[in-house]
Amino acid sequence: MPEARDRDQLRLLAGLGAAEMHAHTTASDGMVTAAELVTAAAAIGLSVICITDHDTIPSIDQARETGARLGVEVVAGEEVTTSLPLGIHVVGLFLERPVRMGMSLEDTVDAIHDHGGLVILAHPFMPTLFASVSPRRALRLIDRRSVDGIELRHTQWLTPRGRDQLDRFYAGNRERVGAALGAGDSHFGTRDLGRLVTTFPGRTAADLRHAIEERSTAPLRGVQPAPPTLGMRLAQQRRALLWLPGERRAGRVGRGVGPRRDGEARAASAAGGAGPRG
């Protein structure tokens, strides 16, 4: 994988832009606001940042205003949690409405596509029972549904065997898993943004979408920021493991749209039951 070996600034070939495909804010388990995230993106030379909070799409108007001043375009996305016990995470990009959590993997993919988004397999093949799609489940999915991209390089932990599996899976299924992406899964803004990015021809969010659809993206190892302190990491874990589940239980996170056929079925049912009663 190519590298942009600079601690503080991305160095790109002429004609290419760079995007962080997967980043979190205080709307879920991130530790920075969306505007702070955009400011950090501008400082390292990103042209696009995808805000992909867990099971919610926060208001990003201020982030987009900040980006307009600093030359960074903001993509609305979501990291959607599928139904338990698998609880696989799927990233939807270019969304206008949040996608409902807790559906099957296939229904989640359908909902993202039905509402105009792109489906990205997030941090695949991690050795966990939660959050990451396994090789077997990924094969089942692409036999039934199309996806638009895969985080071929990501910052979550993989064993050497898992990384080799991921490379072989991509090589053998390129036509069905879409674009090869690099994703940093940022939670700390300046402390972890830009470690792995996606390069693409152009500089705008529209250029990024076109490149994903045309499979002309490439992962790039990016900057090397000073990592978060232990205290920062512990605070983030408390947010992820205690605060965010509480928000889900309260219904403030996770309530979004399902596949379009759900709404169509409800509308048809309502129409059928609206006639005169005997």
Q: What is the pLDDT of residues 72-118, one digit of tens each?
A: 999 999 999 999 778 999 999 999 999 999 999 999 999 999 999 99
Listed range (33-47, 192-206, 248-262) with the worst mean pLDDT: 248-262
Structural domain including 220 reads 18-226
**pTM (whole model) above 0.75:** yes
CATH number (domain holding residue 59): 3.20.20.140
d(CA 154, CA 121): 11
Listed range (65-79, 122-136, 201-215, 250-264) with the worst mean pLDDT: 250-264
Which of 198, 237, 156 lies closest to 49, judged by CA? 198
Which element (helix H / strand E) includes 126? none
Q: What is the pLDDT of residue 1?
A: 72
Evaluate whether residue 185 is within a structural domain.
Answer: yes
Evaluate whether residue 59 is within a structural domain.
Answer: yes
Evaluate whether residue 4 is within a structural domain.
Answer: no
Listed range (49-53, 82-86, 184-188, 258-262) with the worst mean pLDDT: 258-262
Tokens for 91, please give them.
Answer: 């990233």
Number of domain units in the chain = 1
Single-letter amino acid code for the residue at 55: D
Mean pLDDT of 43-64: 96
Q: What is the pLDDT of residue 264?
A: 54
Listed in order, strand segments (DSSP E) in the chain are: 16-23, 48-54, 73-81, 89-93, 118-121, 149-154, 179-183, 196-201, 218-221
